[in-house]
Amino acid sequence: MADKAVSEEASMDGQAPKPTSIPVTDNTVWADASPLLDAACIGLRYGELIHGDNFNLFAAMSALEIMDPKMDSGIVCRYYSIDEAIENGAAPVPISLDSTIDVQCTIDIMDHLLACEAAWHKGHSLAQTVFSCIYLLRLDRTASHALLHSYGRVIRATCKAVLSVVSDARTHEEEDLFTMTYGLPLNGDGDEKCLSMLNAVEETISRQLRACKATSSKRRVSEDLEPLQYNPNLEEGFCKALLCRLRFRKHFFHVLTCMKRPQGRGLELARKHIASCISELEFILKSAEFLQSCSGESCEDDIDDKTTASGREPIGFDASLNSRLSAPTPPRAIKILSWKKAVEYFVKLLHDLDVICSYSLDPHLENLLRFVVQFQKSQPDLVARSHLQLLLVQDGKLYGRDPIFAVITKAAALPEATKNHDIQKNESILQLGQCYYILQLVMNLLKILCTNAAWQRRKLGKILQDWRVIYLQNICMKIFQHILIWVEEQTYWIACRFLMLGFELELYSASEYCMVYWYSYAVLIKLAEKTHLKMAVSYDTAKRKGKKKRDSPKDLVRESRIPPAVLFLQCYICLAEGLTMMLAALRNEFMILQSPSPFNTEQEKFVQHFELLQRACIPDHASYLSFKESTTHARFSTLVMYNYFKDAQRIAKEVKSSFSNDPDRLAELRKLEQVAEHNSVALNLICRLGALDPSLKVSFEFSHHPFFATAVVRRS
Amino acid sequence: MDASSEEKAEFEGEEIEYLSYGGEHHLPLIMSLVDQELSEPYSIFTYRYFVYLWPQLSFLAFHKGKCVGTVVCKMGEHRNTFRGYIAMLVVIKPYRGRGIATELVTRSIRMMMESGCEEVTLEAEVTNKGALALYGRLGFIRAKRLFHYYLNGVDAFRLKLLFPRQELHFSGPMMTNTDASHEHTDLDNT
């Protein structure tokens, strides 16, 4: 409707349309504000801005968006509405009366749509990507063109499905362009049947492919089948090119449907469809050679930048058409991904989804947290992350299956006998409220861990206080002791992740590494302490609840041995301490890695980096003063004697056997060994040569581990 | 391609003249510099918003009468903190690498400090090594990473400089200070 009004205006030679009266209802009264606006225009002098109590100068200034036709009335567009574009032949149906060209152009449209879809996933608005396609904006027009129509329906249904996953996850704050769709025709009647439409088209083309293959060897032509296009030499190539594109869409839609099924019931089937998608993508890539050869155009150098396999520009797209709608269309033209990059994107997305689908739905929270952290290392995009989040937390249950409270009691190693009713017996309202609060914290934590690293770190920092509050305000009864210890352990785990993500996000400069490792060391010590305590308490309880047997020698040994999980943390602790001291010694003895500033000191940087941790008292007594006290006396001569890196190496070796079935942790231990070894060597080198050789330069690189740096000693 | 604009300009540091924003006659100079060098299109109202409300925070650098650099800033209350914000910083290419940008920013930050700001902030592309190094040397830390902040998909860092607060200060040596850091009256001690 809005488009019609605009085009009427455009054709009426500047005559403003007469305002029609709008009927009064219960809640609304309409008045014509045109005279008021006219008076305001006359009253404003050139260069003046309106501002007022509820509309300050900042708001007024920000409201002016250059090049956005919703705000910038002077901007000139090629077409002022979708209808005008269509009337001028921007999206003809059929695309061409020449059936060969029609097929070629259809394939180009499919390819460009794939590129648009990838660009949308990567963070641009739907209005400027997928819905820059005029055919999609008026899909009913294509009803006579079975290929375009069925393809359009499936794309529309797919976008809608992906959108609903991301919207339901509700953790896309920084990627919010993704879900803004106001004014876009996303809901099509009968889109649920899009797959059957697609199947019909696929069937037709399959038969045509069989027929044209048969024709070449047996010269039999079925009278029912109409060829796709008129050039028999190209028929097979076009059929194949179309089939793999249609099949990819079909399988991809199935993947989304299967993964949506509650409690992970569809994951196994999803994996099969994922495998099909990947193989169809390979066929799509292979079709490029054929499509380029029959495009008749010379092979250009920048074919890799093109958004279609054939290298031609697609017909029927205009990214500026939607700029008058409400859906955000930032005024700058965006660059659609190249077709090759789009295929790469989908391959990666499918692999990430496959990892999710292969997950064993482990009921142990500890293992789940490790899985999510590991998954995030491959830097999955928004769509994959949203799918993971929705799998993990459904209907307030883990995987839609395990009540979160049961998961927590298991994680806290509460004795098996403890059930809900035991908790309810100790019934103070405060304690039940506390339970509920902890449930919310855990669900929130799981959601946060599925978001992009930058946003994740900020949220983790913010929730530290929420977790710490449980400990600080605790009214503890014996039965909650386990949970309390577990909560403390989780709190320090979150703090650790917060600090480590800072390295991944490149938030620290080299002159800040020392304080970061020192703080990490302080947090890791507490984490190890709480983990050990949790295991000791659970073992204690298990022993007491078990039959009164004499302690076998094995039991005694087990008691005194430090659990492997704690040893693992001790390895981290040694590395953190070693790096802290080495960096401190470098500063103390060689004056490097300092960063004097005219406006503030190291203390301000310390306060800023650790503000959220300090506010939550994590840990207690970790102040700038104690940091200085710990590091002022670091010297290489003493470091070589108490070599923390050697300790780390020893522990890593010792604990490897306990994780022989865990490839991820074994890989991690190997990395830690490397870090320890290289740093130990560097330490000795600097100690021996450092004072004597001013040409030695020390830098810190993350060549072996994303969190623990390796010292590299070079001659400048 | 104009060869002369690619060459480095020859000059001594003392030849650069720094002026505080002096009025409407400076506005077209600022606008043309920023339009030329930065990727965001701003309306004239955006520039006026900054220089009319906070003229004391904007500075221009001249070489032999030609405007070669500018910084545009603002300050105000933000969630209970009085904070300065660096909106635009430009030095034309032939004059880069000689400390002009540092000097422009330093003057602005000093003015913010004297006006009672507790901190200064800005955003910079994660790929802008030059800016990150410049602000790092002035004491800014990378407080946050903002995912896909820019429409071309590039992330940004939020950079923040925290001024020392007298009552919390660990008794260590202060770096070169101005008189302003000893004034308690204007600082909001919360």
Question: Could you say which of 3.40.630.30, 3.30.43.10, 3.40.50.10540, 3.90.190.10 is the CATH number of the domain covering B17-162?
Answer: 3.40.630.30
Strand pairing partners for B144?
Answer: B158
Q: Is the minimum CB–CB distance between B48 and chain A shorter than 8 Å? A: yes
Distance from CA of A343 to the nearest CA of B (A): 19
Distance from CA of A299 to the nearest CA of B (A): 28
The beta-carbon neighbor of B141 closest among A66, A455, A608 is A608
Nearest to A328 by CA among A174, A515, A180, A471: A180
Q: What average pLDDT does the segment A21-33 reach?
A: 83
Q: What average pLDDT does the segment A130-139 reach?
A: 94
Residue A174 has pLDDT above 80, yes or no: no
The beta-carbon neighbor of B138 closest among A67, A458, A599 is A599
Residue B5 has pLDDT above 90, yes or no: no
Distance from CA of B148 to the nearest CA of A (A): 8
Q: Are A261 and A246 in contact (CB under 8 A)?
A: no
Q: Is the minimum CB–CB distance between B46 and chain A shorter than 8 Å? A: yes
The pLDDT score that the predictor gives to residue A295 is: 78
Measured distance CA(A115)–CA(A107) in Å, rounded: 13
How high is the mean pLDDT of chain A?
87
The pLDDT score that the predictor gives to residue A72 is: 77
Residues of B in contact with A60 (CB under 8 A): 45
Q: Is the minimum CB–CB distance between B31 and chain A shorter than 8 Å? A: no
The residue among A474 and A306 whose pLDDT is bigger is: A306
Find residues 113-152 of chain B whose CB sits inside 8 Å of chain A. 113, 126, 136-139, 141-149, 151-152
Contact yes or no for A608 and B113 at CB 8 A? no
Distance from CA of A307 to the nearest CA of B (A): 17
pLDDT bucket at A220, cuts 50 / 70 / 90: low
Residue B148 has pLDDT above 70, yes or no: yes
Q: Are A656 and A602 in contact (CB under 8 A)?
A: no
Q: Is the minimum CB–CB distance between B172 and chain A shorter than 8 Å? A: yes
The beta-carbon neighbor of A604 closest among B48, B142, B162 is B162
Contact yes or no for A600 and B46 at CB 8 A? no
Q: What letter does residue A73 receive in the DSSP assignment?
A: T
The pLDDT score that the predictor gives to residue A541 is: 67
Pick the range with the lowest mean pLDDT from A60-74, A227-241, A455-469.
A60-74
Residues of A in contact with B143 (CB under 8 A): 507, 608
Distance from CA of B4 to the nearest CA of A (A): 31
The pLDDT score that the predictor gives to residue A78 is: 82
The pLDDT score that the predictor gives to residue A653 is: 93
Chain A, nearest residue to B102 by Cα: A598
Optimal mutation site among A604, A607, A611, A628, interface B, most CBs of chain B within 10 A = A604
Cβ neighbours of B130 (radius 10 Å): 13
Q: What average pLDDT does the segment A353-381 reach?
A: 95
Residues of A in contact with B148 (CB under 8 A): 123, 174-175
Tell me the CA distances in angstroms from A94 to A89, A133, A230, B88, one per residue in order: 11, 15, 15, 51
3-state secondary structure (DSSP) of residue A98: coil
Residue with tokens 């509820």: A54
Measured distance CA(A241)–CA(A284) in Å, rounded: 7
Q: Is the minimum CB–CB distance between B38 and chain A shorter than 8 Å? A: no
Residues of A in contact with B113 (CB under 8 A): 599
Q: Could you state, in order of their start, the residue ranges of all structural domains in chain B? A: 17-162
Among residues of chain A, what percentage have pLDDT more than 90? 58
Contact yes or no for B170 and A61 at CB 8 A? no
Residues of B in contact with A596 (CB under 8 A): 175
Q: Is the minimum CB–CB distance between B160 and chain A shorter than 8 Å? A: yes
Nearest to A462 by CA among A609, A606, A616: A616
Tell me the CA distances in angstroms from A652 to A526, A566, A672, one per residue in order: 20, 12, 7
Residues of B in contact with A174 (CB under 8 A): 146-149
Contact yes or no for B148 and A123 at CB 8 A? yes
pLDDT bucket at A7, cuts 50 / 70 / 90: very low
CB pairs under 8 A between A and B: 115
The beta-carbon neighbor of B145 closest among A123, A505, A604 is A505
pLDDT bucket at A81, cuts 50 / 70 / 90: confident
Residue A398 has pLDDT above 70, yes or no: yes
Q: Are A202 and A226 in contact (CB under 8 A)?
A: no
The pLDDT score that the predictor gives to residue A319 is: 85
Distance from CA of B182 to the nearest CA of A (A): 13
Among residues of chain A, what percentage have pLDDT more than 70? 88
Nearest to A61 by CA among A48, A73, A45, A44: A48
Q: What average pLDDT does the segment A533-553 reach?
A: 67
Q: Is the minimum CB–CB distance between B72 and chain A shorter than 8 Å? A: no
Residues of B in contact with A605 (CB under 8 A): 139, 141, 162
The beta-carbon neighbor of B151 closest among A334, A596, A605 is A334
Distance from CA of A612 to the nearest CA of B (A): 12
Q: Could you state, in order of their start, the residue ranges of all structural domains in chain A? A: 82-213+229-354, 360-420+428-507, 519-541+561-676
Tell me the CA distances in angstroms from A76 to A10, A72, A323, A494, B45, one per residue in order: 12, 9, 12, 52, 21
Contact yes or no for A597 and B139 at CB 8 A? yes
Pick the range with the lowest mean pLDDT from A307-311, A529-533, A687-691, B168-172.
B168-172
Q: Is the minimum CB–CB distance between B49 and chain A shorter than 8 Å? A: yes
Contact yes or no for A601 and B172 at CB 8 A? yes
The pLDDT score that the predictor gives to residue A28 is: 87
The beta-carbon neighbor of A601 closest among B46, B113, B175 is B175
Residues of B in contact with A608 (CB under 8 A): 141, 143, 160, 162
How high is the mean pLDDT of chain B?
85
